[in-house]
Each structure stands twice: as structure tokens, then as C-alpha cells.
Amino acid sequence: MDLRRVYIGHSNDTDDLDYLAGLARKGCLLGMDHFPGGRAGGLDWEERVEVIRQLVEMGLADKTCLSHDDALSFNGTPEEAAERRAYNPDSISFISRKVLPRLRALGIREEAISTMTVGAPRRYFEAK
């Protein structure tokens, strides 16, 4: 299988850089799409951003897709919906309001941010 056609979602559920870099170097696109995280003891959003920073510094921005999978609608109970809103009041704006400013504060350049938000996904969907 051509691993350039493989997108691995929720890749930011781990901070195992050897594992992530290995997948990326084999051709997979790492989906950094699980924000804000931190529920049930997992990595919090700042830890997830730190993983992204390290991948960029390893030269893997072009194998990293920064995106969001937050639901615009939710079929749970009103109480569950309120809990989700309370946990992530930014909803689908979380990346633009929290993640991108944090990446910039960590020294990640606009070129790398553009690669992760536009270039890498474009290459993935345009591949034949």
C-alpha cells in the first residue's frame, strides 16, 4: 500500500515522537485533529501542541495535518451537550483561538502553520 494515501487521525493522542516520526517518514499523514484533549487523563491541549512543535522542528510539518474533528451537532442529552460546551467553549474555533497562537508563541513560523493547515491536506487530497 502507498502510505502517502494513509491519514492517521487522532495522532495527537500520543506523545511518542519515535512512533509518530516513524509513521510520517514512511509516508503517512499525521492527523493532529483531536483537540482539546485532556479528558479521561489523556494529553491536554498544550501537551498536544508541544508534540506538534517537536514534529515541526524535526522537519515533519509536511507530514502533519492540523485540523479539528469537533462536532457541530451532538445527539446526546442536553446535559451531555452542556458538558461538552463547558469543556470546550471554543468548539471548532479552538485551533484558531488556542492552538495557532500557542504554536506562534513557541516560535513556529507561519510557513509551517500554512503547511500543516493548507499544504499537507491539499497534497493528500490531490494525490493520485
Please report the pLDDT score of residue 73 as a whole number. Answer: 64
Confirm if 26 and 65 have CB atoms less than 8 A apart: no
Per-residue burial over 9-47, b if 16 or more Cβ lie within 10 Å, else e, is: eebbeeeeeeebbebbeeebbbbbbbbbbeeeeebebee
User: Domains (ranges, CATH) in the chain?
Assistant: 3-126 (3.20.20.140)
Tens-digit pLDDT profile for the chain (128 aa)? 899 899 999 999 999 999 999 999 999 999 999 888 877 778 999 999 999 999 999 999 999 999 887 666 667 788 887 887 887 788 889 999 999 999 999 999 999 999 999 999 999 999 76
Q: What is the reported pTM? A: 0.89
HSE (CB half, 13 Å, CA atoms) of 4?
9
Q: Which residues are within 8 A (CB) of 78 and not within 5 positions of it... i.e. 6 or more apart?
A: none
